[in-house]
A and B are shown apart, each in its own frame.
Chain A
Amino acid sequence: MANYLFIESRDPYGSNDTQFCCDLAKQLAQQGDAVTVFLVQNGVFPARAGARADELSALAKAGIEILADEFSLRERGIPTDRLTAGVKPAPLDVVIDRLADGCKAIWH
């Protein structure tokens, strides 16, 4: 089993290519790999409670850990207690933790 970290910096409202990241993450999780999706920059926009976030819902249903960069949330005025189900706020340090642990990291 491999560990994967997807760093999603794009939001589905301004980019039309976020779906493949979601699909790949789900496929890896389905084959038994440990997958985390870390939302950063505008990637945190769909993490707002009430936002259209079909992709995040699908990831959460697949049992994928979804983290949102606290700094990016704060920059965009998104309170950490108003995130969509399945998304947890986290410091950027998590990315360095995972890199140091040898996680396969993919920036998008």
Chain B
Amino acid sequence: MADKKTLTFALMDPPYENARSTTALRLINIAAKRGYDINVFAYEGSVFLAFAMQKPHPNAMHGRNVEEENHVLTKELVSSLMQEAMRNGGKIDWVNCGLCVDERGAVEAVEGVRRGSPADFLKMAATSDNTLVIVTRG
């Protein structure tokens, strides 16, 4: 693909708390559908986006069981994005900040996610066509 690009995204927000996570995953999805190579550096709470221990739950308040609730799990979205990128000739290199993982005990991550450090983010940014840092609210 002549116009194949490499984009890097730095994320900071944990799942289920802010629309920034949704927007970030939407952006990555668009890039994955184009077959771009995508780097993701997950920092701070965003290491939980790919946390393998996430579980769906029922919703007693609304009387729905697990199947009816059909709870969205971000770990599945991350896996799905990786598959989407591969289907379109691209790839996602998803790096969880190791210190952020250890602090939070978020050690188990879905397949394809690797552990790294801010040095990886520097390398990603230096070798990408562009980088977007989605900062958490200060």
B-contacting residues of A (Cβ < 8 Å)? 7, 9-10, 40-42, 71, 92-93, 95-96, 99-100, 102-103, 105, 107-108
Partner of B129, one of A40, A102, A108: A102
| Cβ–Cβ contact A92 & B19, under 8 A | no
Tell me whether chain B's interface is mostly helix, strand or loop, or mixed: mixed
A-contacting residues of B (Cβ < 8 Å)? 3, 5, 7, 19-20, 23, 26-27, 30-31, 34, 36, 129-130, 132-135, 137
| Cβ–Cβ contact A9 & B7, under 8 A | no
Partner of A103, one of B19, B130, B134, B135: B130
Q: Tell whether A92 pairs with B132 under 8 Å between CB atoms, given A9-B19, A41-B20, A100-B36.
A: no
| Cβ–Cβ contact A92 & B7, under 8 A | no
CB closest residue in chain B, given A7? B132
Partner of B5, one of A92, A100, A103, A108: A100
Tell me whether chain A's interface is mostly helix, strand or loop, or mixed: mixed
CB closest residue in chain B, given A94? B30
Partner of A92, one of B20, B27, B133, B135: B27
| Cβ–Cβ contact A96 & B129, under 8 A | no
Bound: A49/B51 CA distance, A? 41
CB closest residue in chain A, given B34? A96
Bound: A106/B128 CA distance, A? 16
Q: Find chain A residues with CB under 8 A from B132 CB.
A: 7, 95, 99, 105, 107
Bound: A24/B134 CA distance, A? 18
| Cβ–Cβ contact A9 & B23, under 8 A | yes
Closest-CB distance, A96 to chain B (whole angstroms)? 5
| Cβ–Cβ contact A100 & B19, under 8 A | no
Closest-CB distance, A105 to chain B (whole angstroms)? 5
| Cβ–Cβ contact B19 & A102, under 8 A | no
Bound: A86/B129 CA distance, A? 30
**Which residue, of B7, B31, B130, B135, has the highest number of chain A Cβ atoms within 10 A?**
B130
CB closest residue in chain B, given A96? B30
Inter-chain pairs besides A96-B36, A100-B3, A102-B130, 16 sampled, C-beta below 8 Å: A9-B19, A9-B23, A41-B19, A41-B20, A42-B19, A93-B30, A95-B27, A95-B30, A96-B31, A96-B34, A99-B7, A99-B129, A103-B130, A105-B130, A107-B135, A108-B135
